[in-house]
Structure 1
Amino acid sequence: MLKATFSNEQIDTLKKIDKEIKPNELISLFDKSNLDSDELVQILKASNALYRVGLQVITDEQYDLYISMLRSINHLHPYLNKVEPEALAEAKTVELPQRMLSTEKAYSKEDIEKWLKRILKAAQEINISEKDIYLRVTPKLDGYAAFDDGQKLYTRGDGYRGQDITRAFDRGLKVAENGVRGLGPGEIVIKKSYFDSKLSDIFENSRNIQAAIIAEKKLDENVQKAIKDGACVFYPFTLIKNKTAHFSEIIENFESIVEEIWKAVDFDIDGVILETTHEDLKEYMGATRKSHRWQIAFKVNEDSAEVKVISITPQTSRTGRISPVAELVPTKLSGVTIKRVTVHHYNMVKTKKIGSGAIVEIVRSGLVIPKIERVIKESEVQLPDNCPSCGSKLLWESDHLICPNKSDCPAQTENTLIHFFKTLGNNDGFGPKVIEKITNFGIKHIHEIYQIPKHKFLAFGFGDKTSQNLVDQLQASREIEIEDWRFLSAFGVSRLGGGNCEKLLQHCPIVELFEISVEDMVKIDGFAQLSAEAIVEGLANIREEFFKVYNLGFKLSVTAKESDRVSLNSPIAGTVVVFTGSMQQGSRGDMEKHAKTLGAKVAKSVTGNTTYLVTGEKVGETKINAAKDKGVEVLTEQEYLSLIG
């Protein structure tokens, strides 16, 4: 792919952030053309970590390319469904007052129009007229994502937990546009004009300065002066320059509006963000685990080339699907040398006749992984008969070739174990390299890993300190509380991601879920017949292993049942509650969870359907008056606590 080297500072930083990352191994991966999903994740984790601390090793375009390579291998990979963390080395995490999500990306006007169709469809479903649908377009600041609750400033972290960086305000950092503290999510940024004129000879890029502002070490005097001069600011999203208009006007004048917004601020931006302004529509559409459905980021780039196919390489995924990867004559596209591209499935290979010697047009839109746009010259195709990992005879399932060997296929086994620990997310020891080493000694199941004693890890070739750490991590993963939906999702059942797990567990305890029928599942909102059939079959396949792991004694927080919420006899049962500001009773997240157990529906923003707005400290009068104008009852934290007894 590309050449890369690491400075001593980058190596030290990587060691602090993730002990599993080995810089020497990473350097070889950067120069490798045939990367598997584990190798891609290693590159992405290291590149993201270095970028966040101002020690960027690859360009944004190259990072996007690796993301898309991973998506083309496995679009359901856990790394793709997590918020890319704003991480600091050697810093403890704390719960965020409010979830901070990434933004879905689009790379063409057509992508925006598809997103808009989803907006209009949702509006129709809740009887919102098209004339009331307006879009807000803002610059997508390329800074350091953070959240200000008025008392503390937090990094975005993983979207749920971040790190306390209030020291940035203590150092004199101001809110942009003469704003006040406590306006929620935003970005730490520096003016481009100031950087170019005063700091470009001292710092390689503005990211170095953003990282320095929040770092624990003593602040560089040049950065301190930039803060004093007002060039470095925290820019809340609510204050950012924007254009708000009816959606029809936005689409009709899309190119000119994008150009206008792109030049609206004196800060680095990497796109524009579009979002609906209708609060009821926002609440109805909600969010995935990674991004809001009512918001999208538009980024620009497109390039294409005609390329010769050298060969088609089969790769086995965690689910047993065989992914065809087209090895290409190395071709430069958008500044990056492309050597491979994943074909969607083997039926496409067969029908489009994409084999050795074929000529294809590849398009790289939005600085992402190229896709095959069309086949210019066909060639003879050779389909694999056997799994490249275990040698089992392959079977056709719809458009895909499948390895049926679920129990003894090394690729499926290894990827399943990696998926479990990644999704569980409550221990740091069991990354791809550790899993690979363990599976080489015949470990095939999750429960077997938890039964490995220290002397076995030593026998596997781990050092004494590492072996003890691995034992401790396994113990910790059973003792650190995690949500039951996350635990279930970690087993990797097809079509059973975190959201669907939570929906099911609102209706059925986790241990009883394996008895649910397809007919009963279809009755639950959000589950169609085909999805229900796939999930029921998947649950049957993991049942034995699930209970072996479950019985090891994990500490699971139980999802509140839908029936409990309806039947609870509490003053807020059936109401819609929004919490804002800094709470004294506990974190806002804790209060939201407690409100749910009392039968309330918790929302993130005030709409006409909101029953109570519960206010903590430092909540602006504008927000309170806006709620009152909608007929919402505003309660102080103490009034709310008195209400619920």
Structure 2
Amino acid sequence: MLTQNQKAILSRSQLTLTELDEKKLLHIASHPDRAEHLSDAELVEFLTIANALYRGGDAIVSDADYDFVFQAELKKRHPNHPFLHRVEPESAFTGKTVELPVHMLSTDKAYSLDEIKRWAARIEKAAEELGKSFPDLTFRVTPKLDGYAAYDDGAILYTRGDGRKGTDISRVFERGLKVANGGDRGLGAGEIVISKSYFQQRLANHFDNARNFQASVIKEKELEEHAEQAIRDQAAVFYPFALLPAWTGSWKQLSNDFEGIIQTIWHKLDYDVDGVILEITDPDLKEYMGATRHHHRWQIAYKENVETAEVEVLNVTPQTSRSGRITPVAELEPTRLSGALLSRATAHHYKMVQDKGIGPGAIIRLARSGEVIPKIEEVIMAVEPQIPEHCPSCGTELVWDNDYLICTNNLECPAQITHSLEHFFRVLKNNDGFGPATIKKLYQHDIRTVDAIYQLSVEQFEAMGFGPKQSQNLVEQLQRSRNEAIEDWRFLAAFGVFRMGLGNCEKLLPHYPLTDIFQLSEQDIVAVEGFAEKTATVVIKGLAKIKPLFDKLYRLGFNLESSTIDRSRDNQHPLAGKLVVFTGAMQHGSRDDMKKEAKALGAKVGSSVSGKTDYLVIGEKVGETKLNAARDKGVAILTERQYLDLIKS
């Protein structure tokens, strides 16, 4: 069973077991090869619990099993699952939960020089669009610390939390924790770390691992004597990223001596390091490239975890996606790579299967280079491939569309229908219970559309074989999904229009009301930054396809929050077209509320100060970093009161 410490970590993190019990949780942890037999709900719950325990210092699975078995299984099933695209939260600790001064995102990862080159190519393209010389740009390489992430604004030290809200753990400085290298407070993001040599010599007999020690430093209870001594000896410190040793230079210099530079920086510190961070330093370019919900585009982590094996293909199984594409899945002779027992690998499309000769008896080189999905790196011995002629789900004759085989029976194909239903509820994210097992059962009883699901009663669920309690819960969850406030762009993304994922929906709807998007022309969509002509063409077709279902669901009265900006006063308001950055603790409202308010007035909101920033709005307890940047760049600095007077004018 879980230890008392593990239970305490879950309690602090407000996590409870619903899909699993303790016995099954621990059984899964000790048998990672059974991950593929978990339901989606069980898999996500296991990942959530395992992450919380790892970050709380009392892990139940290894990093390799977490990354390359359990996360791999989720990504294999649902590459766009929200769990995979959000910042993995740090374990909670007692203290006031507060909004972070800046969002602390995760870092995108690469495991080969080719991936780094593709990242650099994206930077080069962005530089060209800004009129900057790529050869003259400066790249920075620093160690990737493997500690406990935190943010220091000079007055408060915050845990990373979920990347947007964290916990006040300033008590660690009150206990004597110092900033590394004699640095000052207020240098922003960093990590609490412990010297590797000190840990091995003085602490290894008292703590299972370094993360367990780091968690003990943060906890609200009195410190153990050994932890107190480590702080006094300054073996445990808060290391701001700004103070890390760094290599800087041009892309040409970096690419010419990539391995040498990486190895030098990797082994520069006597702290746990699990890679290096590469980033571009130009502030205008960083702001222009921006970020996803998960990571900054101008930054990437390089990690080494390459392992390959020659494996025999036992079979190639076709699977139908919700879009109708037929995905070839290679069933393999079971092989262990990077901590995972692998028995399947996805070929990208059937053109690849056809061209490379992938089929029963083929010998392939399977690579596990840190990616959550195993990669067919090379076909060593090709065979005559077996290309399906009919959809494995509905039997419809398949057609070629460039590299892909397509099932055109989108209105009646069971796989396309069930995957689309699952997608809707998963993206909506304000309901529970509508995973694959539930959707499959509904499909078997001829419930084939989302609007039909919303019309079901408790009695109808029971008649289909659901238990009384489960039936009541499902109806309540459907009601909940209509009553809880949800962003209009998330609602639109749930319909699964090709090229209209969460990001593009969020880009489009500030410009056009949700109910108007079906009347848009291709020119209207191309006018929105980030949409190309080809994208606009497929979006128009996709919107027309979902309109009948959209109209039915919209009439059910979902509680939708509009993100459309009122542009009727754009040209009159002082904030129209201005780039605003907020920092410090605000009294007028939460920082998210103030950002929404600014956007509604036609402003753009940034996260860091650059030469393009028009206003830096400061609240209380502001660190010097952004203030100094604003002064250096001539950015107007407004107090919260001055800002409020401005928006009222």
TM over 0.5, shorter chain: yes
CA distance in 2, matches of 1:92, 1:465: 37
SS in structure 2 opposite 1:357? coil
Write the mapping of 1:60-79 to structure 2, written as runs, cut at 5 A: 60-66=63-69, 67-68=71-72, 70-71=74-75, 75-79=79-83
Please name the residue that 2:15 is paired with. Answer: 17
CA distance in 1, matches of 2:481, 2:229: 45
Asked if the contact 1:61–1:368 (Cα under 8 Å) also holds between the matched residues in 2, the reply is no
Worse overlay, 374-383 or 424-433: 424-433
Shift of the 224–548 alpha-carbon distance from structure 1 to 2, 3 Å rule, reads farther
Match of 1:554 among 538, 555, 558: 558
Match of 1:415 among 391, 416, 419: 419
Q: What's the C-alpha RMSD, in Å, of the aligned pairs?
A: 3.5
Write the mapping of 1:76-87 to structure 2, written as runs, cut at 5 A: 76-87=80-91
The aligned length equals: 640
One-letter amino acid matched to 2:251: F
Match of 2:596 among 590, 593, 599: 593
Whether 1:529 and 2:527 are equivalent positions in the alignment is: no
Please name the residue that 1:338 is paired with. Answer: 342
Give the C-alpha shift of residue 138 in structure 1. 1.3
Whether 1:263 and 2:267 are equivalent positions in the alignment is: yes
Please name the residue that 1:633 is paired with. Answer: 636
Q: State TM-score, norm by structure 2.
A: 0.87
SS in structure 1 opposite 2:144? strand
One-letter amino acid matched to 1:608: G
Give the C-alpha shift of residue 622 in structure 1. 5.4
Write the mapping of 1:154-553 to structure 2, written as runs, cut at 5 A: 154-162=158-166, 173-214=177-218, 222-223=226-227, 226-227=230-231, 229-366=233-370, 368-428=372-432, 430-432=434-436, 435=439, 439=443, 441-454=445-458, 469-553=473-557
Shift of the 497–80 alpha-carbon distance from structure 1 to 2, 3 Å rule, reads same
CA distance in 1, matches of 2:444, 2:641: 58
SS in structure 2 opposite 1:365? coil
One-letter amino acid matched to 1:627: A
Whether 1:606 and 2:609 are equivalent positions in the alignment is: yes
Worse overlay, 222-231 or 345-354: 222-231
CA distance in 1, matches of 2:94, 2:359: 49
C-alpha distance after superposition, 1:398-431 (max 9, x if no partner): 2222333434444333333333333233345545
Asked if the contact 1:73–1:342 (Cα under 8 Å) also holds between the matched residues in 2, the reply is no
CA distance in 2, matches of 1:86, 1:611: 34
Asked if the contact 1:97–1:589 (Cα under 8 Å) also holds between the matched residues in 2, the reply is no
Match of 2:60 among 57, 61, 71: 57
C-alpha distance after superposition, 1:256-276 (max 9, x if no partner): 221222122232121111111
Asked if the contact 1:560–1:596 (Cα under 8 Å) also holds between the matched residues in 2, the reply is no
CA distance in 2, matches of 1:314, 1:409: 14
Give the C-alpha shift of residue 603 in structure 1. 1.5
Worse overlay, 371-380 or 147-156: 147-156
CA distance in 1, matches of 2:306, 2:353: 24
Asked if the contact 2:362–2:383 (Cα under 8 Å) also holds between the matched residues in 1, the reply is yes
Give the C-alpha shift of residue 117 in structure 1. 2.0
CA distance in 1, matches of 2:235, 2:568: 52
Give the C-alpha shift of residue 490 in structure 1. 2.0
Asked if the contact 1:37–1:73 (Cα under 8 Å) also holds between the matched residues in 2, the reply is no
SS in structure 2 opposite 1:339? strand
Worse overlay, 285-294 or 529-538: 529-538
SS in structure 2 opposite 1:51? helix
C-alpha distance after superposition, 1:295-342 (max 9, x if no partner): 111111322222111111222323232221111122333454332211
Q: State TM-score, norm by structure 1.
A: 0.88
Asked if the contact 1:61–1:367 (Cα under 8 Å) also holds between the matched residues in 2, the reply is no
SS in structure 1 opposite 2:34? coil
One-letter amino acid matched to 1:626: A
C-alpha distance after superposition, 1:63-101 (max 9, x if no partner): 332445554555444443333333549999765443222
SS in structure 2 opposite 1:287? coil
Asked if the contact 1:331–1:337 (Cα under 8 Å) also holds between the matched residues in 2, the reply is yes
Worse overlay, 345-354 or 75-84: 75-84
Shift of the 470–203 alpha-carbon distance from structure 1 to 2, 3 Å rule, reads farther
Asked if the contact 1:362–1:373 (Cα under 8 Å) also holds between the matched residues in 2, the reply is yes
CA distance in 2, matches of 1:173, 1:454: 57
Shift of the 6–433 alpha-carbon distance from structure 1 to 2, 3 Å rule, reads farther
Give the C-alpha shift of residue 356 in structure 1. 0.6
Give the C-alpha shift of residue 112 in structure 1. 1.6
C-alpha distance after superposition, 1:186-216 (max 9, x if no partner): 3333332333223322332222333444557
CA distance in 1, matches of 2:226, 2:629: 42
Asked if the contact 2:354–2:385 (Cα under 8 Å) also holds between the matched residues in 1, the reply is yes
Shift of the 529–633 alpha-carbon distance from structure 1 to 2, 3 Å rule, reads closer
Shift of the 416–384 alpha-carbon distance from structure 1 to 2, 3 Å rule, reads same
Unaligned runs of 5+ in 1: none
C-alpha distance after superposition, 1:93-117 (max 9, x if no partner): 7654432222111112222222112
One-letter amino acid matched to 2:56: V
Shift of the 635–494 alpha-carbon distance from structure 1 to 2, 3 Å rule, reads same
Write the mapping of 1:13-52 to structure 2, written as runs, cut at 5 A: 17=15, 19-22=17-20, 27=27, 30-32=32-34, 38=40, 41=44, 44-52=47-55
C-alpha distance after superposition, 1:419-449 (max 9, x if no partner): 3333233345545555555555554333344
One-letter amino acid matched to 2:631: K
Give the C-alpha shift of residue 354 in structure 1. 0.9
Shift of the 625–216 alpha-carbon distance from structure 1 to 2, 3 Å rule, reads closer
CA distance in 2, matches of 1:222, 1:465: 51
CA distance in 2, matches of 1:153, 1:204: 25
Unaligned runs of 5+ in 2: none
Give the C-alpha shift of residue 291 in structure 1. 1.5
CA distance in 2, matches of 1:180, 1:433: 54
CA distance in 2, matches of 1:470, 1:619: 47
Whether 1:624 and 2:627 are equivalent positions in the alignment is: yes
Worse overlay, 191-200 or 72-81: 72-81
One-letter amino acid matched to 2:388: P
Worse overlay, 415-424 or 20-29: 20-29
Give the C-alpha shift of residue 134 in structure 1. 0.8
CA distance in 2, matches of 1:425, 1:104: 23
SS in structure 1 opposite 2:150? strand
CA distance in 1, matches of 2:285, 2:250: 15
